[in-house]
Structure 1
Amino acid sequence: MPLATRPRAVVLDVNETLSDLAPLGPAFEEEGAPAHLAPLWFASVLRDGFGLSLAGAPRPFVEVAAGALRPLLAAAGVEDLDGAGQRVLDALGTLPVRADVPEGLQALAAAGLRVVTLTNGAVATTDALLRRGAARPHVDLLLSVEDAGAWKPDRRAYEHAARATRLAPQDLLLVAVHPWDVDGAARAGLRTAWLDRAGTPYPSHATLPDLVARDLLDLAGQLA
């Protein structure tokens, strides 16, 4: 259903929401590991990152990614763990944006909304991703949980976005493909939009989003 009032800024998740992880499968295959390890690796990174954050010891995304990668490659029979691991990590740093991202971000900005990103990764990685996709000019502010002291979905990450934008949480619309991100943002007082890129049911245990959109262009149309 439409929002009662328009948000003043959209806060976009980055990994999978803006970036396309599909090239990671071939990157694993080039090292002699099955492509299906790519989504398992990403899920493992989130699991371990969340766990460390919950324990009060958050670590940078790339550090967790490297640590979670070695056991998977070893179990797949890869012998050159250092070399293979670095090449897969390099592939992570060269991912493309999803097809709708450049035009979608432009449409959101043209609608008068501040466009902000909030990632569990590094600001430099987000900046490089958006520049590769010719989408950087449409984004006003790049944020990372590294400056919040906790990974999303900890409320401190979303409070960091509110402080950085100098806006109240209810003036922010968190946009993500991950229900756990939507749920965390809602509990921190933000309004939320779920990008249902895969056409899958929303999990019943998570807080429902305020908006559901197929992609960023659909979302921009709903907010216009």
Structure 2
Amino acid sequence: MNSTASVVVFDVNETLSDMAPMGERFAEVGAPAQVAKLWFATLLRDGFALTAAGGNGTFAEIGAEVLRGLLADTGTGTDREVAVEHVMAGMAGLGLHPDVADGVRALRAAGYRLVTLSNGAARVAEELLASAGIRDRFERLLSVEDAAGWKPARAAYHHAASACATDPGQMLLVAVHPWDIHGAAAAGLRTAWINRDGANYPNYFTSPDYTVASLRELPEALGAPTAPATGRR
């Protein structure tokens, strides 16, 4: 374990979970599948706004309310509350990206402590990791619901450091979202950006310490031994 960090902190939504099936949930209630991306972006915007104003809110509450507005605009024929319940339930049934399980196993085998830190509920991470058979690799599943605000606020990352009884400088945040990377860096964490799609990193955010195309590549980037791909989800 050659990295200066000893605790790897994973974002959950989109970083670990594959959210592509959420488009199908929208289509099933009569809304365009592409509205799923708008819904998630709007949900994050409003969660960030509450935090910036000194408040907080749960992912489920904000997500449901944003959905009501979007579904009203798209004019679906499904009863709105039934549609909201159907779409929100999809978050609990998502699977991992194909590269996640192997990367997680290799990092844990290399001696890193593994935790999650999500703007969503910890129970969603619990279901996601348990169904993939890797829940036992994680020491803690943390949520900003127990912090003073959402990521990328500094308080969210410091909440994780406090829960793990470590210094932020001993933690490495792994995420696909540049805004999460930027926030973690500002809070004193080291950072690793997973760029699965070959996107350009915004130059107005702090650059990540590590950039990898797959979580399978991260152990080697950190100087840890890699594990062979298993093909298991």
TM-score (norm 2): 0.92
CA RMSD of aligned residues (A): 1.3
Q: Equivalent residues in 2 for 1:14-29 (5 A)?
A: 14-29=12-27
Matched to 2:41, the amino acid is A
Report the Cα distance in structure 2 between the residues aligned to 1:55 and 1:101, rounded to whole angstroms.
35
Report the Cα distance in structure 1 between the residues aligned to 2:189 and 2:4, rounded to whole angstroms.
12
Aligned to 1:123: 122
Aligned to 2:171: 172
Q: 2:57 is paired with a residue of what secondary structure?
A: coil
Matched to 1:40, the amino acid is L
Gaps of 5+ in 2: 225-233
Gaps of 5+ in 1: none
Aligned to 1:144: 143
Report the Cα distance in structure 2 between the residues aligned to 1:134 and 1:117, rounded to whole angstroms.
15
Q: 2:66 is paired with a residue of what secondary structure?
A: helix
Percent of aligned pairs with the same amino acid: 50
Q: 1:93 is paired with a residue of what secondary structure?
A: helix
Aligned to 1:107: 106
Report the Cα distance in structure 2 between the residues aligned to 1:66 and 1:5, rounded to whole angstroms.
40
Q: Is the 8 A contact 2:125 2:141 kept in 1?
A: yes
Matched to 1:95, the amino acid is L
TM-score (norm 1): 0.96
Say if 2:73 is the partner of 1:68: no
Q: 2:116 is paired with a residue of what secondary structure?
A: strand
Q: Is the 8 A contact 1:101 1:135 kept in 2?
A: no
Aligned to 1:37: 35
Query: After superposition, what is the alpha-carbon deviation per residue over 1:185-220, rounded to whole angstroms, capped at 9, x for unaligned?
Result: 000110000010111000010000000011211011
Say if 2:115 is the partner of 1:84: no
Report the Cα distance in structure 2 between the residues aligned to 1:148 and 1:57, rounded to whole angstroms.
11
Q: Is the 8 A contact 2:120 2:143 kept in 1?
A: yes
Matched to 2:73, the amino acid is A
Aligned to 2:9: 11
Query: After superposition, what is the alpha-carbon deviation per residue over 1:62-121, rounded to whole angstroms, capped at 9, x for unaligned?
Result: 000001101111111114111111100111221111111111111110111001100011
Task: Please state how far the C-alpha of 1:5 moved relative to its aligned partner.
Answer: 4.2
Aligned to 2:134: 135
Report the Cα distance in structure 2 between the residues aligned to 1:93 and 1:5, rounded to whole angstroms.
33
Aligned pair count reads: 222
Aligned to 2:181: 182
Q: Is the 8 A contact 2:91 2:124 kept in 1?
A: no
Q: Is the 8 A contact 1:174 1:192 kept in 2?
A: yes
Dislocated runs of 4+, deviation >6 Å = none
Q: Is the 8 A contact 1:9 1:115 kept in 2?
A: yes
